[in-house]
Structure formats: C-alpha cells, structure tokens
Amino acid sequence: MLFEDDLVYVGHVHAKAGSTAYRGHLVVEPKRHVPGLGDLRDPEAAAVGRTCSRMARVLEAAAEAEHVYSWVIGDEVAHLHLQLVPRYPGTPREFWGPGLLRWPEGPRVDPDAMRAFISDLRERVNAG
C-alpha cells in the first residue's frame, strides 16, 4: 500500500512468488466496488482524478520517468483499477503504451525492491 484515504487506495502491482513486477506500476482504485469509470459518484471521481495526478507527479520525480501512462482495461476483474505506469528514459519506442509491460529489459522489482521503492514513494507523498 502506498496511499489511501476514505475513497481511494493506491498500491504497487505485486509480483507473483519467484518473479518480478514492472518498477512503478501502480494501481489506483476506489474503495467502493464499481466496475468502471462511469459508475463513480462525483466525489469518488474527483478523488480518483486528484490521486492519479498526484501519483503521476510522484512517479515522474522518484522514478525519473519521462512519461506516466494511465489506462483502465477492466477485463479481468469487475472492479475499477486505474493503472499508472512510468516510461523510463531509453525505453524503445516499440514498447511505448500498454506494450511497456512486455519490454524484456524493462526495470523490474522483486518483492524486497518493490517495498523499498514504495517506501521512497510514500515519503514523497507524505512530504508534499
């Protein structure tokens, strides 16, 4: 968990046991179960939008990202998960966009490195 308030939760995508996750791949989700963006109440939509913007700024600074992608796919789980994924300098153009997660040389974190990265992000969130 990176951040949460009464309406929104933010966490880093976890790696399965024995594997790694893309460094900085965050999920922003409303606490109330809703299947899509159109199902958010206005206060939830405002909170999700503010939180995504704030987390993108934190990722740009902490990860030195040149861009932060956001997408909602929603095919696997019927609960809104807004993905934030940093694109790092030197990312080959063929992996820009959703293909970023398939980049074989993309920056990856194991569970320990992920916790350290989230700790750094949390400090930045709490500072500003």
HSE, side-chain direction, 13 A CA sphere, residue 127? 10
pLDDT in tens, 39-64: 999 999 999 999 999 999 999 999 89
- Per the structure, the count of domains in the chain is 1
The secondary structure of the chain as a DSSP string is: --EE-SSEEEEEPPPPTT--EETT-EEEEESS--SSGGG--HHHHHHHHHHHHHHHHHHHHHS--SEEEEE---SSSSS--EEEEEEPTT--GGG-GGGGGG-TTS-EE-HHHHHHHHHHHHHHHHH-
The CATH number linked to 73 is 3.30.428.10
Determine the average pLDDT of the residues in 31-36. 94
User: What is the extent of the structural domain holding 35?
Assistant: 3-90+99-127
Radius of gyration from C-alpha coordinates of the chain: 14
Q: At what angle do helices 42-62 and 111-127 cross, to 10 degrees?
A: 110
Sorted by sequence, the CB contacts under 8 Å of residue 111 that are 6+ apart come out as 14, 15
Determine the average pLDDT of the residues in 90-101. 94
Residue 121 has a CB neighbour count (10 Å cut-off) of 22
Share of the chain above pLDDT 70, in %: 100
